Structure 1
Amino acid sequence: MAEYKLEVTTGEMPYAGTWDHVFITLFGNEGQSERIELDNYGPDFTKAATGTYIIKTCSSLGKLLLVKVEKDPYLVLSEDAWYCSKIVMTTPEEDVILFPCYRWISRGELVELRGGRAMKVFEEDHPLLTDHRKRELTLKKNLYQWKIMAEGLPHINSFNNESELPDEIRYSDSKSNETLNTEMIIGVELKLKGLYGSVEKWKSIEDMKQIFWYKKTTISEYVTEHWMEDDFYGYQFLNGINPNVIKKCSELPPNFLVTEEMVRPFLEEDSSLEEEMEDGKIFLYDQKKMDGIPARDYNGEPLDVTAGLCLFYLNPEDKLMPIAIQLHQQPSEDNPIFLPSDPETDWLLAKMFIKNADFIDHEAVHHLMSTHFLAEVYTMATLRCFPVIHPLYKLLIPHFRYTIYINTGGRESLFGKNGVLRISSLGYDGMIELMRRALSEMTYSSLCLPENITARGLESIPNFYYRDDGLKLWNIINSFVTAIVEYYYPSDSDVQKDTELQEWINEIFTHAFLRNTASGFPGCFHTVEEVIKFITMVIFTVTAQHAAVNNGQFDYNSWVPNGSLLLHQPPPTTKGESSMETILETLPNVGESVNFAAMTQMLSEKYTDVVPLGAYPEERFDEPAPKQMIKDFQEELSCLSEEITSRNSELKVPYTYLNPTEIENSITI
């Protein structure tokens, strides 16, 4: 007689428990057990509980291969799904084996769990496990299928709405309830104030402070008071929500007709534009990829989006100052160079049109496409190509929690008939074209932060906290990924013969980057180093980069004048004809403004169902080495968090978005 001790843990979320009957069958290389019901005295499988059960067999089953879990109804008429977290098995030989589950099990569903150390496909040594691996991937490829959202964009999942998604990738009940509650509270406040749906124009800038009475942050209040100031305007291109657009300028573009005489008053005394460029003090914002994209119609008339250029100067006080703006790519008499010495509202309007294009570019390209849409491809490829026993599945899947769910619903709420991005200046078609152009130009190095910073010449510009924190995070993530990958792939040949890994990167190359070889993205892996770099990029993108472009949206853009997705009036073509009335006529009306502001609150809100970067509440690795690597990763993140917190205490405008405690482990909102 042999005894197997099972410790079965039920999840902590609401309704995780079950009254149904749960049955277990054990499979070893020397036989299998009978189908046995797990039943102790009193209630079994209650929320957050671990039950201990003994299974007796006539003899040892040898090396334990699989655990089959089945659930039969207790009450025939009602569904009673069960969330099984894990099963820990102690064998007669005193081996302790972890069988991760972390999924909902429905009535009549059969679930087979793999346990023990992570295994690559070429390491399988038993026909039962080889067959199980193939069946698992076949089932997942049938469940998770690709669909084209629009030509030239990353491909998406084939589910039509959130209700079709499998339970294990959907929001938890608490997350769903909190997001719905937040949406309801925002809507009630705006309706009670009579702002929601209003088509009236704002009567004054001051009136916009009534959008939110209670929801404020230290930074949002600072933005409200300082949004017109040039030094704060420049600061935002380094540490606001779109920190990846400016670059060092060593030579003016031939279509940007800035002269020495125009900008000399804004440079250091006795200096010149040429000298400042040589010293690395001149920087350029150039929105040329937006040039020629038609804006949407508004009340029968086309709106305007300016594919503008803005020149910045790093002054002796280390402040990045805008010194010249051209609102269109093609020079003409109707396209003057605006300067800080121009009438105040002319200069303010020019800055607002640059920020309008920048916010559209931020939302469509740097936020949606470069984090959300790419993350969806990484998630889909991981679900389709790696069985749960694969080491890279165990490493990556915590970073894809809720991503398919938020993207599936978000496409409707953002791009749907009344979605906020549809009412932007570009509208749906323009946004799609902008993303299409951006993807065609995207390079692998642009997603790898160290290379991105070097390519833009921003290695030494001061007060660039996104760079400082981001590079430290990149290195910490890279060290963690290096340790895990080298543990499971000791040689390049291990990489080359892992057919599941090669299929994974090929699916990503095909469905994210549309097989664009000029982009530099890999379509296969040859070395361990290539795998480490790519997985570092993936984890950085879905954690740190998403936090950088998402978490500050309320801080910086709930104050609509500082950055709006929609401007009503055409950009100025002459100087000296604008006024504050022109500014108010140009800004969105009341209803549109509150729509945009509400979006920024929803996207920046903090919810209780959060897993911060480096926290892995689901126990998936069974070996001591990767468990220790996770602890080391967490310690490094904790040290960085203390360092950032200390620095921020000295700053007038703290930069918090890349503090590890503020970064989620996956894209969930």
Structure 2
Amino acid sequence: MPSYTVTVATGSQWFAGTDDYIYLSLVGSAGCSEKHLLDKPFYNDFERGAVDSYDVTVDEELGEIQLVRVEKRKYWLHDDWYLKYLTLKTPYGDYIEFPCYRWISGEGEVVLRDGRARLARDDQIHILKQHRRKELETRQKQYRMENLFINRFMHMFQSSWSDFADFEKIFVKINNTISERVMKRWQEDDMFGYQFLNGCNPVLIRRCTQLPEKLPVTTEMVECSLERELTLEQEVQQGNIFIVDFELLDGIDANKTDPCTLQFLAAPICLLYKNLANKIVPIAIQLNQIPGEENPIFLPSDAKYDWLLAKIWVRSSDFHVHQTITHLLRTHLVSEVFGIAMYRQLPAVHPIFKLLVAHVRFTIAINTKAREQLICEYGLFDKARGMESKEDIPYYFYRDDGLLVWEAIKTFTAEVVGIYYESDQVVEEDQELQDFVKDVYVYGMRGRKASGFPKALRSREKLSEYLTVVIFTASAQHAAVNFGQYDWCSWIPNAPPTMRAPPPTAKGVVTIEQIVDTLPDRGRSCWHLGAVWALSQFQENELFLGMYPEEHFIEKPVKEAMARFRENLEVVVSMIAERNKNKKLPYYYLSPDRIPNSVAI
């Protein structure tokens, strides 16, 4: 009778092992075996991190093995089990790999195919087509799209401090070089401007091509800040004026979560200037959108505390937009859309599923937790923002490093696409892929053309670009806007999470006492410090960009592409490390050895 050797690998994470009964049956082209209990006498099977082998003898020839069914049945108490993979040695000496990398819960079962990636058109056998269809039907019941209204995640957000120095009482407990430098220099205009390029939220600043009517600033107002003997309009034409507009916050009510403390929001407009030292500095701030006598334009030439409080209001607004839009919406929630669409429309055997699964590893789980407790356009370096020129803005490290990582990912995705799609026609005819893209567009982007996402893909190049967006968003973009939070936001006056007094409506009346009373109280400051510290930490089992320990792909060409991807990323790591040498403010958030594969915190 034919005999097979089955090797079973259990995960090494906590509680991965099981004492439940594990049964296995083989489905071949010529027949199906009975269920076999995988058990060794006087041996504790399926322990955490174990690799166990079993001999399975069948009554008749099964032909080519097409599927392996693994069932878990209760022994005493329900005991979840993490199955990494199975390997099968056939009676003819062939080895077949069956990747799993998933939990089996309760009285559960999984049906596995061998590890070769296959498009739907590659499956000509009825049982494989049926398995593919049933897998997606099951997943579509588990993963359902639902609208998350904006007010659901606008809710992210009692004695006063004595003065700015009083904030050090909590700050010095946890410190690092960048955050200490922020504490010392946060009031300086060039430090204020630098954060729009390389801080937590480096995506809002754009070149100003025309002064907005709602910001009636004149040359006379900012003359003392202009260094080229040009008018403000001429500086705009020369490309030296930049703008950050927090219009998104206009009309939003502040939280009323604390009945003892009123909270306030502003929707400022900040005009910035590239001076002769190539530094970006603020030259005008209006704290609300509609100009008027009670909405003055604050200037560097104003009284010290007038100008300082105006900048603090901008930093607070930047914090809110960063947390709700840049961080939560454009990395966490967008990545979740990709993840859910992937599980709904791509079977585990599909090459795009195998490529993306590492990049949505914890996203759905962490977002579910965030909703319980806390709560784009294609071109991430868009020319429409006017920020693409290295010569014009030489210290925009987010842009420079991001482009290096983007190109490395794009090269990798293009290689993988080329392995499985020999022509544009194959892309267009891959219905599972098209359903995935459509799911993202219809449910994730609500069918809005303005989202910049397509509802179909027609070429290998567009598919590669799309996959680059998915991977970059979940890895590099999230790293850029998440892991610097303690660096830039732990000094409370530099990133106030809440303001306890309304924006000033007149000049010449602001005092240091008024500023301190406007900043968060002691309780909220401590909560904020703990939150940004926790959000800035890597996970204990973090997998960084290019690391694929779960071998969903078994084909040699893809493994070689992965190796080249890692080599390209190492080059980027070296370039960034060399650039950062001797810098007082090093920028390392987009160094690939610090970019997790997926949104995990």
Alignment TM class, shorter chain as reference: over 0.9
Looking at structure 1, the residues matched to 499 and 120 of structure 2 have their Cα atoms a distance apart, in angstroms, of 55
Q: What is residue 528 of structure 2 aligned with on the other side? A: 596
- 8 A Cα contact 1:542 1:666, kept in partner: yes
In 2, Cα distance between equivalents of 1:49 and 1:326: 63
Correspondence list, 1:156-195, <5 A: none
* Contact persistence 1:87–1:98 (CA under 8 A): yes
Letter in 1 for 2:129: T
3-state SS of the aligned residue for 1:211? helix
Q: What whole-Å deviation, never above 9, does each CA across 1:213-240 have from its counterpart, x for those lacking one?
A: 4321211111111110111000000000
Give the superposition deviation at 1:209. 1.1
Matched with 2:492 is 560
Tell me the secondary structure at the aligned position of residue 266 of structure 2. coil
Answer with 355-364 or 510-519: which moved more: 510-519
Question: Which one of 216, 225, 229 corresponds to residue 257 of structure 1?
Answer: 216
Question: 1:125: Cα distance to partner?
Answer: 1.5
Q: 1:110: Cα distance to partner?
A: 2.1
| Corresponding residue for residue 507 of structure 2 | 575
Q: 2 CA distance for matches of 1:252 and 1:506?
A: 39
1:4 aligns to what?
Answer: 4
Write the distance in 1 (CA, Å) between the matches of 2:317 and 2:94: 61
Aligned partners of 1:665, 1:602: CA distance in 2, in Å? 18
Q: Which residue identity is paired with 1:216?
A: N
Does the 8 Å CA contact 2:115/2:552 hold for their aligned counterparts? no
The aligned runs of 1:34-53 (5 Å cut-off) are 34-40=34-40, 42-53=43-54
Measured in 1, the distance between the counterparts of 2:193 and 2:495 equals 13
Aligned to 1:23: 23
Q: 1:301 deviation in Å?
A: 9.0
The residue correspondences of 1:254-333 to structure 2 (distance < 5 A) are: 254-297=213-256, 303-333=263-293
Counterpart Cα distance in 1 of 2:115 and 2:192: 55
User: Which amino acid is the alignment partner of residue 149 of structure 2?
Assistant: A
After superposition, give the CA deviation of every residue in 1:58-82 in whole Å (9 maximum; x if it has no partner): 55422210011123344x3x22222
- Structure 1 residue 149 displacement after superposition: 2.5
Change (3 A) 1:593 1:583: same
| Cα drift, residue 56 of structure 1 | 3.1
Task: Report how many aligned residue pairs link the two structures.
Answer: 593
Would the aligned equivalents of 1:84 and 1:104 in 2 still touch at CA under 8 Å? yes
Matched, 1:372 2:329: no
Cα distance in 1 for residues equivalent to 2:150 and 2:291: 32
Aligned residue for 1:549, secondary structure, equals helix
3-state DSSP class of the match of 2:23? strand
For the structure 1 residues 607 and 86, does the alpha-carbon distance in structure 2 shift closer, same or farther, using more than 3 Å as the test?
Answer: same
**Residues 449 and 471 of structure 1 are in contact (CA less than 8 Å); yes or no, is this contact kept in structure 2?**
no
Return 5+ residue gaps in structure 2 as ranges: none
Q: For the structure 1 residues 62 and 613, does the alpha-carbon distance in structure 2 shift closer, same or farther, using more than 3 Å as the test?
A: same
In structure 2, what is the equivalent of residue 139 of structure 1? Answer: 138
1:449 and 2:383 aligned: no
- Offset of 1:152 from its aligned partner? 9.6
Q: CA deviation at 1:406?
A: 0.9
Please give the alpha-carbon distance, in whole angstroms, between the structure 2 residues aligned to 1:224 and 1:13.
40
How far did 1:582 drift?
1.1
State which drifts further: 145-154 or 246-255: 145-154
| Contact 2:286 2:295 survives alignment (8 Å) | yes
Q: Contact 1:449/1:474 (CA < 8 Å) preserved in 2?
A: no
Which residue is equivalent to 2:170?
A: 211
- Judge conservation of contact 2:262–2:500 (CA < 8 Å) in 1: no
Three-state SS of the structure 2 residue aligned to 1:146 is: coil
Name which of 433, 447, 452 aligns with 1:515.
Answer: 447
Are positions 1:413 and 2:413 aligned together? no
1:192 maps to which residue? Answer: none
Task: Output aligned runs, 1:495-574, within 5 Å.
Answer: 495-574=427-506
In structure 2, the residue matched to 1:459 is 389
Partner of 2:109: 110
Report Cα offsets for 1:523-565 as digits up to 9, x if no partner: 1122222211111101100101111111111111111100112
Aligned AA (2:408): I
Instruction: Note closer, same or farther for the CA distance 1:97–1:255 as it changes in structure 2 (3 Å cut).
Output: same
Deviation per residue, 1:158-178 (Å, 9 max, x gap):
xxxxxxxxxxxxxxxxxxxxx
Structure 1 residue 455: deviation in Å?
A: 3.6
Residue 377 of structure 1: how far off its partner (Å): 1.1
> What is the RMSD of the two structures over their aligned residues, measured on CA atoms?
2.0
Q: Deviations over 1:235-283 (max 9, x none)?
A: 0000000001111113211221111112121121533323322322211
Q: In 2, Cα distance between the equivalents of 1:120 and 1:509? A: 22
> Distance in 1 between the 2:264 and 2:11 partners?
52
Residues 412-468 of structure 1: per-residue CA shift (max 9 Å, x gap): 2112xxxxxxxxxxxxxxxxxxxxxxxxxxx533xx324x25543442311100001
Distance 2:485 2:31 in 1: 58
> Which one-letter code corresponds to 1:67 in the other structure?
V
Of 306, 312, 316, which residue of structure 2 is paired with 1:346?
306
Deviations 1:483-535 (A, max 9, x none): 11121111122122211111111111112110012333211122222211111
Q: Tell me, in whole angstroms, the C-alpha distance in 1 between the residues paired with 2:260 and 2:294.
A: 24
TM alignment of 1:58-77, pairs within 5 A: 58=59, 60-74=61-75, 76=76
Partner of 2:186: 227
Cα distance between partner residues in 2 of 1:95 and 1:493:
34
Ranges in structure 1 where 5+ consecutive residues have no aligned partner: 155-198, 416-442
Q: Distance in 2 between matches of 1:269 and 1:640?
A: 36
Q: Could you say which residue in structure 2 is the equivalent of 1:619? A: 551
Partner residue in 2 for 1:426: none
Preserved CA contact (<8 Å) 1:27 1:65? yes
Structure 2 match to 1:391:
351
The percentage of counterpart residues that share the same residue type is 41
Partner of 1:628: 560
Pick one of 588, 592, 595 that aligns with 1:660: 592
Whether the 8 Å CA contact 1:86–1:99 is kept in 2: the answer is yes
Structure 2 CA distance for aligned equivalents of residues 625 and 102 of structure 1: 21
1:248 aligns with 2:174: no
Aligned-partner SS, 1:69: strand
Inter-CA distance 300–21: structure 2 relative to 1 (3 Å threshold): closer
TM-score, with length taken from structure 1? 0.85
For 2:150 and 2:373, the matched residues in 1 are separated by: 21
Structure 1 residues 205 and 23: CA distance shift in structure 2, 3 A: same
Query: How far is the alpha carbon of 1:108 from its aligned partner?
Result: 2.8
Normalising by structure 2, what TM-score? 0.95
Q: Residue type matched to 1:145 in 2?
A: R
Q: 1:212 to 1:263 in 2, by over 3 A?
A: closer
Structure 1 residue 54 displacement after superposition? 2.6
Cα deviations by residue, 1:292-349 (Å, 9 ceiling, x for unpaired): 3333457599744222111111111121111111112222122222111111110000
**In the alignment, residue 208 of structure 1 is paired with which amino acid?**
F
Q: Which amino acid aligns with 1:92?
A: P
Change (3 A) 1:107 1:579: closer
Distance in 2, Cα, partners of 1:509 & 1:143: 20
Supply the distance in 1 between the matched residues of 2:292 and 2:49 (Cα, whole angstroms).
69
Residues 22 and 72, structure 1, Cα contact 8 Å, conserved in 2: yes
Separation in 2, partners of 1:355, 1:223: 13
Distance 1:374 1:505 in 2: 13
Matches of 2:79 and 2:71, distance apart in 1: 13
CA positional deviation for 1:107 = 4.5
Deviations 1:4-29 (A, max 9, x none): 22221111112222233322111111
Asked whether the equivalents of residues 198 and 396 of structure 2 are also in contact (C-alpha less than 8 Å), the reply is yes
